[in-house]
Amino acid sequence: MSSWLVPLAVALIVVWVVVRHVRASHSDTLLDEHARRRIGPDAVAPAAVSVWREANRMFRSGEAEGLLLLAEIGRQVPRRRQAVVDTWLAALRGGVSLGLDAPWRTAVQRELVAHLRPGDDFWPGMDLVAPGAILVDLDLSGCRVRRVDLVGAVFLGDARFEATTVTGDADFTGARFLRHALFTDVLFARAAAFGSVVFAGNVSLRSAQVADQLVFVRAKVSGRADLRGAEVSGLADFRHVRFGGRALFGDVVFHQDAWFRHAWFRGRTDVGSALIGEAAEFGNARFGRRVMQ
């Protein structure tokens, strides 16, 4: 090896180690750096209110550093966590005119999910309240949240809620899923509402568990609706639902009434092995193809 290559290799290794160290300690210094920037170099300690305002200002301006600074505030001050989550969700409710394009939305969602999924950086007991939000390829699989309010939200790309746990009510009323919606193995510890929801692709609630009522009134499903193995402890309300593709209810368990009045099943319907604890109502329901029993 040439004599000049050895020092060069050593220098590169040193640079790499320094960069790793700087990145590892970056989150620990964000608060102090931005507080000093706001209140001057001679300040003894950062002002919490100033830090919070600075973080929000930077975040609203679309600066990635503001996103990280808010996350650091949440780590260091647990009582601020819901406020941080609410700030992120407020951004996702904003329109494209505010400069929040798809890459920025996915970055915000990625940071959000990092704290909603159980692990080293998990923030328990968070409410997910973002009516009218625009969400891009949202993946909340394996997350654990308290209440969900995504009324009127628009989901671009696939929406994944696989094995998600919602300990409070979940309300998706009027939402639009523009591709596939995956709620496989989800646990709704209370009620789940999907009234008037539009599913442009497939929707899966396979093996889902709903501890209270499940409401799908006037929902429209263009693709396949898969509820095989799902279990609903309360009322299951599918009145006026339009199933455009296959409707699969095999091995589903409805502990109380299951209402399908005025529902329209355009594709093949499979209700084999379905168990209904009380009444099943299909008054004025329409079936476009055969029903598998």
Q: What is the pTM of this model?
A: 0.81
Q: Are 37 and 54 in contact (CB under 8 A)?
A: yes
Task: Copy the structure tokens of residue 156.
Answer: 């671009």
Instruction: Phi first, then psi: give them for residue 223, nearest 5 degrees.
Output: -100, -145
Per DSSP, the residues of 14-77 read HHHHHHHHHHHHHHHHHHHHHHHHHH-TT-SS--HHHHHHHHHHHHHTT-HHHHHHHHHHHHH-
Q: Tell me if residue 166 falls in helix, strand or coil.
A: strand
pLDDT band for 28, please (50, 70, 90 cuts). Answer: very low
Extract the tokens encoding 169: 């009510």
pLDDT at 14: 39
112 to each of 4, 34, 86, 197, how far by Cα in Å? Answer: 47, 22, 10, 24
SS3 123: coil
**What's the DSSP call for residue 110?**
H
Over the stretch 62-80, which tens digit does the pLDDT of each residue have?
888 999 999 999 999 999 9
> Which letter does DSSP use for residue 114 in this model?
H
Over the stretch 81-134, which tens digit does the pLDDT of each residue have? 999 999 999 989 865 544 457 788 899 999 999 999 999 999 999 999 999 999
- Tell me, rounded to whole angstroms, the distance of Cα 1 from its chain centroid: 54
Q: What is the mean pLDDT of residues 139-165?
A: 97
Confidence tier at 292 by pLDDT (50, 70, 90): low
Burial class (CB in 10 A: 0-12, 13-18, 19+), 1: exposed
